[in-house]
Amino acid sequence: MNFNLMKRLCFIAAILPSFLSAQSQTDPLNVDVSQSVAEVQPTMYGIFFEDINFAADGGLYAELVKNRSFEFTLNPSMGWQQPNTNRHSLNKNSGMLNIMKYKEQNTNHNFARVTVKNADGYQLINEGYRGMGIKKDNQYNLYVNMAKQSGDIQKVIFQLIDESDNVIGETSIMPKGDGWKHYKSQMVASETVENAKLKITFAGTGVIDLDMVSMFPEDTWKGREKGLRKDLVQLLDDLNPGFLRFPGGCIVEGRTLERRYQWKKTVGEIENREVLVNRWNTEFMHKFTPDYYQSFGIGFYEYFQLSEDLGAEPLPILSCGIACQYNTGELVPLDELDPYVQDALDLIEFANGDSSTNWGKLRAKMGHPEPFNMKYIGIGNEQWGEVYIERYAIIEKAIKEKYPEIIVVSGSGPSPDGEHFEYGWEELKKLDVAIVDEHYYRSPEWFRSNAARYDDYDRNGPKVFAGEYAAHPKGVGDGPAENNWEGALAEAAFMTGLERNAGVVHLTSYAPLMAHADAYQWAPDMIWFNNLESYGTPNYYVQKLFATNPGTHVLKVTQNDVPLTGQDNLYLSAVKDAHSKELIFKAVNTGNTSQTITINVEGGKLNRKGTVLTLQDNGLETFNTFEAPEKISPVSSEIKIKRNQVKVELPSQSLSVIKLKI
């Protein structure tokens, strides 16, 4: 039996009991399709990307070698093993590894010096990011800079090895002459291995220097050399995102100002992008990840390029001169804010300036002469208090003076309520800002009871960016189990409120986006992956159902003159799509019995047949896994319409997207 058929049968079996039991019938709902109440912005459903949980290095960025340039500050040889060397028997050693500094001061500080004493006896092994995911018959491209110093190392052999040291791929390079030279070679893997390693053996004896030891699969997103992991970008592309927010999150702020994200250090030649310790390296002592650094292989150019690939508006967020207020809260004095202002102005030039401008020239040189047409820029992440408002105001003013067309995104701090939130909103309103970012990581109960959160927001005030949100179920264990159906269903209920209020809520994004199952710091997350595979959580499918059916105009649907925001455990929003001429309802039943709703449609004639996409599970604790990645995923069915009346069965604990042609 094929998987889809099996899934369909399981779905019918799951919802059958609720059909057989008495189904409750609710009061009818009414909608007039000729009367829209607001437009849905094309940016309504976007994605939030941050290098947390090994989402960039070790994840989206397909580099397989960890610490390729020997720059990890805690230990510059971290990730590199010398299997036949031991520090107590140096004389018997076959060789040694030393970390050296370049004479010239530059952003690539270190290189490795390898001394080989016994021919064929010395090896180096790179362990990858929790191993390397290698696929049978796939090609792997190896890159390395080498400089022979003395003696005669004739050949350097690169081998992929599995967990038992069996060779599953091999290539070799003959280093030539003096001075640094760049080499490239390839190998094809004979096996699929989740935790492979890269072994380097030296033929001959002597001294040789190595730097930027790098390996990528040939098969990357869009086939780009040294590109992004294809399966992960595909999952993002399938979301039809309206925007891509990058590079985070707290990573923007840094624990200290010195360690904040500085976009200028992430563009240009990859080997000159200065490696920086990742902010999530030491953030949680119970999730201590000493090997978490940022190579910036994905830097701002790559983020803009990814936005373009996904058809998403780029939304970069920059530091406002305050380090993370949960950590040091270090502040730049107001009269020293200039470099931060300049960073914002230069970024706009990098993204949008023509190739005769300073920064536009660099973008063109990197391969994109056309502007990226950036429209939004965010200043500050989760900042709060007067210190934020003062700095935000200065940077916003400078941007508006030079680039009045750019929409500046401000923030209201880490909580969706309370003193800081209230103060932030009040002050930002006084500044007449365009958009305010709100963050909420709350219980499923909070999401269910906040579906009407935006119903009373001022339509004439700043717009809302629900920039980071996720329901956090309690007591369900750690990791993927936190992405259970209870949380996802609660988010779906809440999202009907976002959609109903699209007149004020212009951008929304779940957070965080991705997590490596063997290297995460934070859960829940929308997508889980390991070195070989990836899957969307139930939360992912909720996002996907909303984002691939966004509509263009919000419609008013009421039951007894009020919207459905949790009465009888039901939530509902409606949009029409002016392009596809569709009427789309998103209906959520969080209760444990099935319910039938009836919607009377006026103002347009409905086709006789419609489609319903349903996400459902009777177990609130159910979650997707690598073994059953689509356990909770949408199932499609048909409905028949009589006399412009939509009668739909909403199974217990379900999200239904009802699509009708007008």
Residues with a catalytic annotation lie at 382
Burial of residue 611 (CB within 10 Å: 0-12, 13-18, 19+) is middle
Which of these ranges, 116-124, 245-253, 491-499, 632-640, lies near ligand AHR under the rule CB under 6 A? 245-253
CB 659 within 8 A of CB 637: no
> In angstroms, what is the minimal distance from the CB of 381 to ligand AHR?
5
Q: Using the rule CB under 6 A, is 483 a contact of ligand AHR?
A: no
Q: Using the rule CB under 6 A, is 582 a contact of ligand AHR?
A: no
Residue with smaller CB distance to ligand AHR, 354 or 417: 417
> In angstroms, what is the minimal distance from the CB of 416 to ligand AHR?
12
Residue 293 to residue 278: CA distance in whole angstroms: 4
Residue 272 to residue 107: CA distance in whole angstroms: 5
For Cα atoms 57, 60, 65, give the angle at the middle one, nearest 5 degrees. Answer: 40
Residue that is written with structure tokens 């006026």 in the block: 602
254-268 burial: b if 16+ Cβ within 10 Å, else e: bbebebbbbbbbbbb
Residue with smaller CB distance to ligand AHR, 250 or 318: 250
> In angstroms, what is the minimal distance from the CB of 249 to ligand AHR?
3
- By C-alpha distance, which of 432, 572, 439, 440 is closest to 493? 572
Which of these ranges, 116-124, 248-256, 314-322, 593-601, lies near ligand AHR under the rule CB under 6 A? 248-256
Residue with smaller CB distance to ligand AHR, 210 or 511: 511
313-318 vs 376-379, strand pairing mode: parallel
- Judged by CB under 6 A, the chain residues 394 through 433 that form the site for ligand AHR are 414
645-650 vs 595-602, strand pairing mode: antiparallel
Of 211, 437, 468, 649, the residue at the interface with ligand AHR (CB under 6 A) is: 468
> In angstroms, what is the minimal distance from the CB of 622 to ligand AHR?
24
Q: Using the rule CB under 6 A, is 513 a contact of ligand AHR?
A: no
Contact string (CB under 6 A) for ligand AHR, positions 196-225, x = contact: ------------------------------
Q: Using the rule CB under 6 A, is 566 a contact of ligand AHR?
A: no
Of 382, 438, 482, 582, the residue at the interface with ligand AHR (CB under 6 A) is: 382
Of 60, 144, 435, 511, the residue at the interface with ligand AHR (CB under 6 A) is: 511
State the chain's maximal CA–CA distance in angstroms: 91
**Cβ-closest residue to ligand AHR?**
249
Residue 125 to residue 166: CA distance in whole angstroms: 13
Residue 280 to residue 372: CA distance in whole angstroms: 30
Handedness of CA 110, 115, 120, 123 (dihedral sign): negative
Q: Using the rule CB under 6 A, is 127 a contact of ligand AHR?
A: no
Residue 119 to residue 202: CA distance in whole angstroms: 7
Of 295, 381, 383, 412, the residue at the interface with ligand AHR (CB under 6 A) is: 381
CB atoms within 10 A of CB 27: 10
Residue with smaller CB distance to ligand AHR, 381 or 590: 381
> In angstroms, what is the minimal distance from the CB of 536 to ligand AHR?
18
Q: Using the rule CB under 6 A, is 250 a contact of ligand AHR?
A: yes
Q: Using the rule CB under 6 A, is 444 a contact of ligand AHR?
A: no
- Judged by CB under 6 A, the chain residues 262 through 301 that form the site for ligand AHR are none
- First-to-last alpha carbon distance for the chain, in angstroms, is 37
CB 628 within 8 A of CB 571: no
> In angstroms, what is the minimal distance from the CB of 528 to ligand AHR?
15
Which of these ranges, 57-65, 214-222, 244-252, 552-560, lies near ligand AHR under the rule CB under 6 A? 244-252
Q: Using the rule CB under 6 A, is 315 a contact of ligand AHR?
A: no
Of 79, 131, 248, 497, the residue at the interface with ligand AHR (CB under 6 A) is: 248
> Residue 633 has what DSSP assignment?
-
Q: In degrees to the nearest 10, what's the CA dihedral of 141, 145, 149, 152?
A: 10
**Binding residues for ligand AHR, how many (CB under 6 A)?**
12
Handedness of CA 423, 425, 426, 432 (dihedral sign): positive
Rounded to 5, what percent of the chain is helix, strand, coil? 25, 35, 45
Of 487, 512, 536, 610, the residue at the interface with ligand AHR (CB under 6 A) is: 512
Q: Using the rule CB under 6 A, is 623 a contact of ligand AHR?
A: no
Which of these ranges, 109-117, 213-221, 243-251, 596-604, lies near ligand AHR under the rule CB under 6 A? 243-251
> In angstroms, what is the minimal distance from the CB of 48 to ligand AHR?
7
What residues form DSSP beta bridges with 442? 471
Q: Using the rule CB under 6 A, is 362 a contact of ligand AHR?
A: no
CB 242 within 8 A of CB 44: yes
Q: Using the rule CB under 6 A, is 249 a contact of ligand AHR?
A: yes
Amino acid at 27: D
Residue 346 to residue 566: CA distance in whole angstroms: 47
> In angstroms, what is the minimal distance from the CB of 470 to ligand AHR?
8
- Judged by CB under 6 A, the chain residues 56 through 85 that form the site for ligand AHR are none
> In angstroms, what is the minimal distance from the CB of 489 to ligand AHR?
21
Q: Using the rule CB under 6 A, is 620 a contact of ligand AHR?
A: no
> In angstroms, what is the minimal distance from the CB of 521 to ligand AHR?
9
Q: Using the rule CB under 6 A, is 524 a contact of ligand AHR?
A: no
E strand spans, 334-490: 376-379, 407-411, 435-442, 463-471
Of 80, 494, 522, 535, the residue at the interface with ligand AHR (CB under 6 A) is: 522
Contact string (CB under 6 A) for ligand AHR, positions 15-54, x = contact: -----------------------------------x-x--
Residue with smaller CB distance to ligand AHR, 180 or 284: 284
Element (H, E) at 340: helix 338-352
CA 229 to chain centre: 13
> In angstroms, what is the minimal distance from the CB of 326 to ligand AHR?
8
Task: Calculate the alpha carbon distances from 330 to 3, 84, 173, 318, 322 in Å.
Answer: 54, 46, 48, 16, 6
Q: Using the rule CB under 6 A, is 438 a contact of ligand AHR?
A: no
Q: Which residues bind ligand AHR (CB under 6 A)?
A: 50, 52, 248-250, 381-382, 414, 468, 511-512, 522
